[in-house]
Amino acid sequence: MDNAFDADVIVAGAGMSGATLALALASGGLKPVLVDPQPFAAQAAPSFDGRASAIAFASFRQWNTVGAGAALAPHAQRIEQILVTDGASPGAASPGQTPFFLRFDSAEIADRCDGEPLGYMLENRRIRAALAEAVTQARIEVFAPARVERVEVDARGAAVGLADGRTLRAPLVVGAEGRTSPVRQAAGIGVIGWDYPQTGVVATVKLERPHEGVAHEYFLPGGPFAILPLTENRASLVWTEKTDRGAALRTAKPEVFQAHLRRRFGPFLGAVEVVGPTFTYPLSLQLAERMAAERIAVLGDAAHGIHPMAGQGLNLGLKDAAALAQVLVEAARLGEDIGSLAVLERYARWRRFDNVMLAASTDIFTRLFSNDDPLLRLARGAGMAAVNRIGPARRFFMQEAGGAVGDLPRLLRGEAL
Ligand SMILES: Cc1cc2nc3c(=O)[nH]c(=O)nc-3n(C[C@H](O)[C@H](O)[C@H](O)COP(=O)(O)OP(=O)(O)OC[C@H]3O[C@@H](n4cnc5c(N)ncnc54)[C@H](O)[C@@H]3O)c2cc1C
C-alpha cells in the first residue's frame, strides 16, 4: 500500500454487507477500513435491528470462509422446507384447502449441495455480533462513531471527509451505507424506484407447536405473510400492511399488537407469544443507475433496495461483497490500480444483471400477489401448480433461493480468495 494512503479500500457503512466485504478483502490480503456513525458495539443490541434474515446456503459458505461461520452456527436455524400458498386467509395451506401450493424440500437437492439446507434463518443481531467479532479478530480498523460526509476523487486516489473533520485517503471508496448512500451521491450516481403503499411488519414469536424447520409464505390479498423458523422454536413473522395501518402498529402497545396479530391471523398459528420488540419498515424499490464510477463502487442496499417478500435483499449485498472482493484481490495481485474504472467495471458487469433481474421479478411478484383479482388469482395458481409438477423447475428455484446459480464468486462456493 502507498504510504500516502490510510488503507487500500475505505468501506463506508459497517452494516452486514460492508462488514462482510471488509472481511473478504482482508482474507485476500488487502487492507480495508470501516466507517460507521453507529458505535460498533451497539450494532449487536437486540433493539438495534429486530429482523431476522433468510440466508442462502451460498451466502453462509462465504461467512464460513471469512471467519464468521463458527460464531453463527449455534444461532442458525436450518430451513428444510418452504411451503408457498396463495391463500385468501392464513391457514389456507392446511391440507385439502387449496390446489395452489408449492413445496420446496432440501432433500431434493441434497446431492448437489452436500446436504446443505435450503438456507438458514438468523437474527440480524446475531449476524451483526458475529461479523463485529470477526472484524476485531482480523484487526480491521473501524472508525465508529464516524460519518462519511464528502468524497473527492482524482487520478491518484479518493479522499473521504468525515463529519468530525478527519480525512481518510485510499485508492478506492465503497459505499455500503444503505439506501441514502452519500458515497453514491458523491459519485453522481442517480437512482430509480418507487414506494410501495405498504409497510413491512416484523415480530418474533414463541410457537406452541414445533416448526420443524418449515418456512411458510402465504400470498394474502393484502400482501405476503411469512412465518420463518428460528432456533428455540421461535419464528420471525414478516407481513405487509397498508401504510396507514402500519403507522398505527408502529406506536401500538405490546398487548394491542398481540391482539391485532391474533385477530389478523386467527387460530392458525396456534398459541403464539410475541417475544422482544416489534418493528415496522416502509417498503420501496430503489436501484442505482450504475454500480461503479472512477474510484467509487456501491454495494448492498446502497446499490439496490428491494421488497422483502423474496427474502433476498441482504443475500444480494453479500453476493456483491463476494464478487467485488474477488475482482479487487485479483486486480491487486496483477499490479492493477484497484480504483480504476476498468477494474470496477468488471464488478459492475458481474453483478448488474442479477441485481436488476431480482429487483424486477420481486416487483412484478409483489404486484401480482398483493391482489385479489380472480383472473390474476387463477393465472398465478396455474403457474404455481406447473412449477410444483415439474421437478427440474422446482429444483432450479431451490438452487436460485440457495444462491447457487449463475457465475458464482469463489467465496460463495466456499473457496478462499
Ligand atoms: C422487513 C424486512 C425483512 C427483510 N428480510 C430479509 C431476509 O429475510 N433476507 C434478506 O436477504 N434480506 C432481507 N431484508 C433486506 C435486508 O435487511 C437489507 O438488504 C440489508 O439490511 C442491507 O444491508 P446493508 O449492509 O447493505 O445496508 P444497511 O443495513 O442499511 O447498513 C448500512 C450501514 O451504513 C451506516 N451508515 C449510514 N450512513 C452512513 C454514513 N454517512 N457514513 C458511514 N456509514 C453510514 C449505517 O449505520 C449502517 O450500519 C429485509 C428487509 C426488511 C425491511
Q: Report CA(35)–ligand 1 centroid distance (Å).
A: 15
| Alpha helices by DSSP H, 92-167 | 124-137
The C-alpha cell that represents 175 in the structure block:
459505499
As given in the structure block, the three cell numbers for residue 7 are 488503507
Whether residue 285 has its Cβ less than 6 Å from ligand 1: no
Does residue 38 have its Cβ closer than 6 Å to ligand 1? yes
CA of 124 to the centre of ligand 1 (A): 10
Per-residue pLDDT 10s for the chain (417 aa) are 677 899 999 999 999 999 999 999 999 999 999 999 999 888 767 667 778 999 988 999 999 999 999 999 999 999 988 887 776 655 544 444 554 567 777 776 666 566 778 889 999 999 999 999 999 999 999 999 999 999 999 999 999 999 999 999 999 999 999 999 999 999 999 999 988 888 888 889 998 888 999 988 887 776 778 889 999 999 998 888 888 888 888 788 888 888 888 777 767 677 788 887 788 888 888 999 999 999 999 999 999 998 877 678 899 999 999 999 999 999 999 999 999 999 999 999 999 888 887 777 777 766 666 666 666 666 666 665 655 556 555 555 555 666 666 789 999 999 999
| Closest atom, ligand 1, to C-alpha of 163 | 41
The sign of the torsion formed by the CA atoms of 182, 278, 270, 218 equals negative
Predicted pLDDT at 258: 84
Interatomic CA distance for residues 214 and 228, integer angstroms: 7
What's the pLDDT at 241? 84
pLDDT, residue 296, reads 98
Query: Is 315 near ligand 1, meaning CB less than 6 Å away?
Result: yes
Helix axes 16-27, 57-66, angle to 10 degrees: 50
Q: Answer whether 82's CB lies under 8 Å from 162's CB.
A: no
- Closest atom of ligand 1 to CA, residue 312: 11
Rounded to the nearest angstrom, the distance between the alpha carbon of 417 and the centre of ligand 1 is 25
Q: How far apart are CA 394 and CA 402, in angstroms?
A: 12
CA pair distance 169, 414, nearest whole angstrom: 32
What is the Å distance from ligand 1's center to 284 Cα?
Answer: 13
The alpha carbon of 179 and the centre of ligand 1 are apart by a number of angstroms equal to: 8
For residue 80, the tally of other CB atoms under 10 A from its CB is 18
Contact 342, 292 (CB under 8 A): no
Would you give the DSSP letter of residue 349? H
Provide the pLDDT for residue 123. Answer: 94
- Ligand 1 within 6 A of CB of 403: no
The 8-class DSSP code of residue 164 comes to T
Which residue is closest in CA terms to ligand 1's atom 16? 314
Shortest-distance atom of ligand 1 to CA 279: 1
Determine if ligand 1 sits within 6 Å of the CB of residue 178.
yes
Shortest-distance Cα residue to atom 21 of ligand 1: 314
Phi, psi for residue 347 in degrees, rounded to 5: -65, -50
**Ligand 1 close to Cβ of residue 215 (< 6 A):** no
Q: What pLDDT is attached to residue 347?
A: 97
| C-alpha to C-alpha distance for 280 and 248, rounded to whole angstroms | 10
How many C-beta atoms surround the C-beta of residue 382 within 10 A? 12
Terminal CA-CA length for the chain = 19
Calculate helix-pair angle for 391-401, 374-389, nearest 10 degrees: 100
Q: Is the CB of 281 under 6 A from ligand 1?
A: yes
- On the CB side of 272, CA atoms within 13 Å amount to 28
Among candidate residues 141, 122, 120, 123, the one with its CA nearest the CA of residue 48: 123
Question: In this structure, are residues 370 and 223 in contact, taking their beta carbons and an 8 Å threshold?
Answer: yes
- pTM of the predicted model as reported, rounded to 2 decimal places: 0.90
Q: Residue 406: CB partners within 8 Å, gap ≥ 6? A: 354
Cα–Cα distance between 216 and 297 in angstroms, integer? 36
The CA dihedral of 259, 262, 263, 265, to the nearest 10 degrees, is 150
